[in-house]
Amino acid sequence: MPLVAAFLAHRTTRLVCTAVLALAGTLGAAPVWAAPDESAVQAAFVLNFAKFTDWPAAGLSQRQGTMQLCQFGDREALALAFRALEGRLLQGAPLQWRRVGRADDMRGCHVLFVAEPGLPLAGLGVMPVLTVSDLPGFAPQGGVIGLVRQSGRLRFEINRAAAQAAGLRLSADLLSLAMQVLDGPLRRETTP
């Protein structure tokens, strides 16, 4: 019986190797693993953060059939990456992207990516908005999730107090993946 198992394992390995080589031949000189750009990676992170977030019922009733992904700041590559997510379902509703310029424009936003400094987080008050940014010190200064580059990898930290103040509930799975969860006092300031 061990001889049959060894034969099948060898044959399976040969078939897999042949399939991989055939696939590589059809691709020609194109690289098999193209590195995604930073903006696409950040957009994917934001989408996944939103999937593991629960909004209060009042926040979801304001969505008017869509989940609003908003961007503060002019980073065109990031805007393109967010626009590519439009139409995907989030909390059972299609995702819609829009750019905002001031706190008053943010009514109806469910997720807000802060792409440049200058947004007064205090202006958001207790709106049920999942705020995310890659600006340094974002989570400690009152943002909900801060993207952090560490050892060449994109990681994130969570300000649980900011999430609670916004009425958001982050899943235990998301909290367990964070490099740091801040439970200290909420300090919503102007973004750095």
DSSP state of 128: -
Q: What percent of the chain shows pLDDT beyond 70?
A: 73
Question: Domain map of the chain by residue range?
Answer: 1-34, 38-182
Give the torsion sign (CA, 126, 160, 56, 67).
positive
What pLDDT digit, counting tens, does each position of 128-170 carry?
999 999 999 999 999 999 999 999 899 999 999 999 999 999 9
Report d(CA 69, CA 12) in Å as an integer: 46
Report d(CA 170, CA 186) in Å as an integer: 16
Q: What is the pTM of this model?
A: 0.76
Whether domain 38-182 has CATH 1.20.120: the reply is no
- 19 close to 131: Cβ distance less than 8 angstroms: no
- 96 close to 108: Cβ distance less than 8 angstroms: no
Report d(CA 41, CA 73) in Å as an integer: 18
